A and B are shown apart, each in its own frame.
Chain A
Amino acid sequence: MCLAVPGRVVEIIDAGDIAFRRAKVDFGGVRKEINLAYTPEAEVGKYVLVHVGFAISVIDEAEAQRVFQYLEELGALKEELGEIPQ
């Protein structure tokens, strides 16, 4: 039930009160109207994390790369890509 899915904001629909602010959000080709009341910082082009019709967070794209940077530090991915001598 705590499932939440990231989607890209494609259009914001202002409706006066912030409680009714909505957006069209694209989930890999499927578009749904999502309530933006809890993510006032959401902008067109940003990714939001959506749970039961509500955006609950804007994805931090720099932080999203962190695990891959960590793996790179381990040398693991570089080895896989053949970028460093075995």
Chain B
Amino acid sequence: MKELLDHLCQLARLELPSGEREEFARKFADLVGFVDAIKELHDEGREVPLQVPKERMDTAADEPRDRPCEGEVPRSYAAGHIGDLEENGA
């Protein structure tokens, strides 16, 4: 469970404070047990049904706004060194 939680924390960019880990892992294990009930069904491998109630989307016309920017938003964004982050991209 510890290893699993570490892996999940890495994927989700979360960190559990060391004091809380035990307790958290315990509650998390309870939760996994709770949702494990879903596994009792035997229809794996079937297609995953769609869940959006609307049957088809309405698209937008290719008409941009007049004003370049919408809303009061900051115009400058910075961050620190990307470091060892996995260089993903589309």
A and B from one complex: no
Binding site for A on B (CB under 8 A): none
Binding site for B on A (CB under 8 A): none
